[in-house]
Amino acid sequence: MPELPELEALRDYLAPRLEGKRIAKVWTSPKLSFLLRTPPDEFARQLTGGTFERSWRRGKFLVFDINGQHLVINPMLGGRLQWTAAAEKVAAATVFRLTLEGGEELRFLDTVKMGRVYWVPPGALPTIPGWAELGPDALSVSEGEFTQRIRRHPGELKNLLRNQAFIAGVGNAYSDEILHEAGLLPLRKRTTLKVEDINRLHAATGKVLRSAIEAIKAQPKYEPHKQDRSFMAVHGKAKEKCPRCGHRISELTARGEATDFCRGCQH
Ligand SMILES: [Zn+2]
């Protein structure tokens, strides 16, 4: 599931390729167009001839401003954007294709059919499910705001970091990385944290997300629709050695999702 760093690296990659470009042709998949929250014929008609103005991100939503309207993509579990030549083979999971003048193409793929695509007029962003509740972006939330907001959330730290109403952009994988960086256990209750722990958690959030964005952008074979998280310290690394203390990394599984952490250096 793409989280803030994957989406930010993707935005950074796509922005210079898309901005100022005109959409010559739109194709929607007859089988997968139910993922569009706009009737597919309307979607195609309104986007054809449109020009990409700005690419931005809020939490786990990617937004493309086109002719003053917003194309909003929430990839959820398996949504991916592919940047390719129009002549390239079309994957079965392709939901839509926007062919630009010049022959390059932006495709949205979704193997698990859970992603959501919205095409909304200006001012209508808060009508998108989940948008209005979003807290400040996890990449830019200040220490003061983080400290103030965390008081409203008494639960376990892992759930807290994943709560989009607290801060937006962190999911299952990066919450593990942030807690490892902060030296805090995932099931620890927020109410047991001292002020210095909260400050450390805030610093770890920014540090982990920023360095992940850099790591993704530095991947020599970076392709936006593929996800390489080999740079992670603990997530997906169960039974390997902790890079900080050498202890074996532990894993808990709940509802099909793994939580990975180190009992050696997280307390
Ligand atoms: Zn460790």
Query: Could you list which residues have their CB under 5 Å from ion ligand 1?
Result: 242, 244-245, 247, 262, 264-265
Question: pLDDT digit string (tens) for 89-108?
Answer: 999 999 999 999 999 999 99
Distance 241 CA to ligand 1 centre (A): 8
240 CA distance to ligand 1 middle (Å): 11
Residues linked to residue 84 through DSSP beta bridges, in sequence order: 105
Q: Which residues of 68-79 are buried (b: 16+ CB within 10 A; e: fewer)?
A: ebbbbbbbbebb
Q: How far is the CA of 234 from the centre of ligand 1 (A)?
A: 9
Question: What is the reported pTM?
Answer: 0.95
DSSP class of residue 1?
Answer: -
Distance 179 CA to ligand 1 centre (A): 11
- Report how far ligand 1's centroid is from the alpha carbon of 62 (Å): 34
Walk me through the domains of the chain, giving residue ranges and CATH numbers. 4-127 (3.20.190.10), 143-262 (1.10.8.50)
Q: Which of the residues in the chain have pLDDT under 50?
A: none
Mind listing the pLDDT tens digit for each residue in 78-90? 899 999 999 999 9
Residue 156 is classified by DSSP as B
**149 C-alpha vs ligand 1 centroid, how far in Å?**
28
